[in-house]
Amino acid sequence: MEKYENLGLVGEGSYGMVLKCKHKESGQIVAIKKFLESEDDKMVKKIALREVKMLKQLRHDHLVNLLEVFRRKKRLYLVFEFVDHTVLDELEKCPNGLDENTVRKILFQVLKGIEFCHLHSIIHRDIKPENILVSRNGIVKLCDFGFARTLAQPGETYTDYVATRWYRAPELLVGDTKYGRAVDLWAIGCLVAEMLTGEPLFPGDSDIDQLYHIVKCFGNLPTRHREVFLRNPLFVGMRLPEVRETTPLEKTFKRVSNIALDIMKQCLKLDPDDRPQCSELVKREFFQKDGFAQKFAQDLKTKLHRANQDNPLIKSTNKPDSATNEKDSTDSLKKKIKKKVDSKDGSKDSKEKLQV
């Protein structure tokens, strides 16, 4: 921490705290995530090292930049670029929701960031308003990759907790261990609804209540999900919520435009196989109307170039997969071989800087 001046606390969570600091040499403002004593808590250590591993692999304009990692007295410190506020902060200022054009700008960038993750076989698993950073000039960055992981291989299953309940897809709620990229699309659908109204779409107070909110809107779950629920020992003695009548999104969101509603419906399909990819969503009318996607992409490119030039710490990091690099097409990204990252990086207690 000798290189940084502590400017104050940004926030606290169950795994540590985030500090606003100034890099003494360059004067650049950074955010430093200070974990709890990670050597003594296996879960904290797992989440911290997973976040380091993921962000080492992923370099993109709409993912937060990890600048440095170091350890002091059994605590792991992650140094990130500082971004002013989150979508949650914006919603607190606008309790009735954001205007559709603002939502469109935020969502366009979220989809670009998640598309990049998915192309590299990584799912975020915790998309929500507080994990979406927004700079003063409107650049959006996804953060908090502590629950992210690579897609399971055939025959492999996921075992650990994922996603804040309100943004969990139905397959997660029933306990399905074979899921994929589609869980992020469901969370994005919930995010869109919340940005447009200021209220969470499905604010369940338990997994069963969460499922009730979902089936009340979309109807009963697919057969596969019902079977998984019935086999899940966590739900022994419980009944899966079922409804005879639904309250569709159109009735709930009477003031939302049809093209915005279309985005929500695409993301919130009960069957994960029916949810589109991020690249398909940005082609829908919500983004194509009035030439928005093309114009905004150009505007973003200029803003990103200026922001990266103004930040010497980011400028010094290698960003081969920057979204502003026109050579990085979808096809070429799919063909790139992911770098193998040693998950044991930084496992020894040391004062030496861990290379990022």
The pairing of beta strand 132-134 with beta strand 149-150: unpaired
**Structure tokens of 275?**
């949810």
Contact 121, 76 (CB under 8 A): no
How far, rounded to the nearest angstrom, does the alpha carbon of residue 220 sit from its chain's CA centroid?
A: 27
How far, rounded to the nearest angstrom, does the alpha carbon of residue 290 sit from its chain's CA centroid?
A: 28
Catalytic hit among 61, 89, 126, 321: 126
Strands (E), the chain: 4-13, 16-23, 29-37, 66-72, 75-81, 85-86, 122-123, 132-134, 140-142, 149-150
The question of whether 126 is a catalytic residue gets the answer: yes
Instruction: Give the torsion sign (CA, 147, 152, 158, 163).
Output: positive
34 marked as part of a ligand binding site: yes
* Distance in angstroms (rounded) separating the CA atoms of residues 215 and 77: 42
Write down the residue that tokens 């010497």 correspond to. 312
**Any residues with CB less than 8 A from the CB of 50 and at least 6 apart, and which?**
145, 146, 147, 148, 149, 343
Which among 28, 101, 96 is positioned nearest to 317, based on CA atoms? Answer: 28
User: Residue 175: what residue type?
Assistant: G
Which among 270, 100, 257 is positioned nearest to 185, based on CA atoms? Answer: 270
Q: Could you tell me the end-to-end alpha-carbon distance of the chain, in angstroms, rounded to an integer?
A: 16
* Distance in angstroms (rounded) separating the CA atoms of residues 176 and 230: 11
**Structure tokens of 322?**
């920057």
Which residue ranges make up the annotated binding site?
A: 34
The catalytic residue positions are: 126
Which residue ranges make up the annotated binding site for ATP?
A: 34
